[in-house]
Amino acid sequence: MNGEPTRVEESYQILFGRLGDELLVAEQQPPSVGDPPSDPPVRWLVLLGYLQVTDGHFVDTRTSARGVDVRYAGVRADTVAARSGELTLRTRPTVQEGQPALVLSGEDPPSLVFGLYQASGSVSPLMTVAANGNLTVAGSFSGRISAGSVLATSGTATDGMLLPLPSGVSQEDLADGRIVLHVYVTPRIPPTSSGTALQVPAEATVDTDRRVRCRLRRYDPLMSPAEVSEQPGTVDFLVLATVAATNGGG
C-alpha cells in the first residue's frame, strides 16, 4: 500500500463519425486480464449504430452497414435470444475461414446447422438437424451401434489370418459383452492340375481369437505312392456384430 489514489473517473461522449470509422471499433484490442486501468484520456469506442442523414437531418437508423454490425453484450437469464430469427455461435469475434460455427435458424423451415466458415462468410454445413428430426451428416458417422442393429464385414482370408471386426466395433465392446459376434466361413476348393486328384476341406474353423484355421486334404489314387497330403487353404468369411435388445428396449 503506497497511499496513491486508485480511483478512475469514467465518462462518455457521443461521437458522429463517417462511414469507415466503424472499422476503428473492430480493430480495438481489449487489454489483458490483470492489466491496470489505463490513464485518461484513453477511450474505448462502442458502436451504437448508424444514422441516415438527408438534407442535414437524421431520418433513419441502422444497426448494420457494409458488413459491420453493432455488437451486443449480455444475456437474459437462462435465455440467449436472437433479434433476427437466427442465432450464430462461433469461437472468434470475427468470421474466419475454416473456423466452426453453430447456426440456429427459426426461418421456414427451421434448422440447426453445425459447419465451417467459408471464405465468403457463409457456413458450409457438416451436420444439419431439420425441423422433422432428420439428421444429415456430410462425413462418416461412427459410434456404438444401437440395440437390435447389425454391423457386418466380409472378405477372403487364408489359414492363420485374424478376421477383422466390423467398422464401429472395438475389442473392448467384445470384452464387455455388449457385442456378440457371429462368424461364418466357407472354404475355397481350388482346381487341381490332375483330373484324378480329390481335394476336400479337412478343417475350416475360427478360434476364439478370430484366427482362421483352414486345411485342405488332397489325395490322388493314380499317384505313386498314393498318399494323402494337407496344405493351407483359403476361406470366404462373413462377420456379423449384433447388440441384443434389452428388456427396456434400450
What is the pLDDT averaged over residues 8-12?
A: 76
Domain coordinates of the chain in residue numbers?
Answer: 22-68, 82-137, 150-242
| Tens digit of each residue's pLDDT (9 = 90 or more) over 141-185 | 666 666 667 889 999 999 999 999 988 888 888 888 888 899 999
* CA-based nearest residue to 101, from 137, 79, 92: 92
Cβ neighbours for 15, distance < 8 A, ≥ 6 positions apart = none
Residue 247 has pLDDT above 60, yes or no: no
Instruction: Output helix, strand, coil percentages for the chain, rounded to the nearest 5.
Output: 5, 40, 60
Cβ neighbours for 189, distance < 8 A, ≥ 6 positions apart = 199, 200, 201, 216
- Tell which wins on pLDDT, 11 or 87: 87
pLDDT for 211 equals 95
> Are 71 and 92 contacting, i.e. CB atoms less than 8 angstroms apart?
no
Q: Which residues of 142-171 are buried (b: 16+ CB within 10 A; e: fewer)?
A: eeebeeeeebeeeeebebebebebbebbee
| Tens digit of each residue's pLDDT (9 = 90 or more) over 132-142 | 888 888 876 66
pTM: 0.44
Q: What is the CA radius of gyration of the chain?
A: 36
Residue 193 has pLDDT above 90, yes or no: no
Quickly list H helices, the chain: 22-26, 171-175
**What is the C-alpha separation between 150 and 182, in angstroms, rounded?**
10
Cβ neighbours for 18, distance < 8 A, ≥ 6 positions apart = none
> Are 249 and 147 contacting, i.e. CB atoms less than 8 angstroms apart?
yes
pLDDT for 128 equals 94
Angle at 226 between CA 224 and CA 229, to 5 degrees: 120
Mean of pLDDT over the chain = 84
pLDDT-based confidence at 250, cuts 50/70/90? Answer: very low
* CA-based nearest residue to 245, from 172, 150, 171: 150
What is the pLDDT averaged over residues 212-233?
A: 86
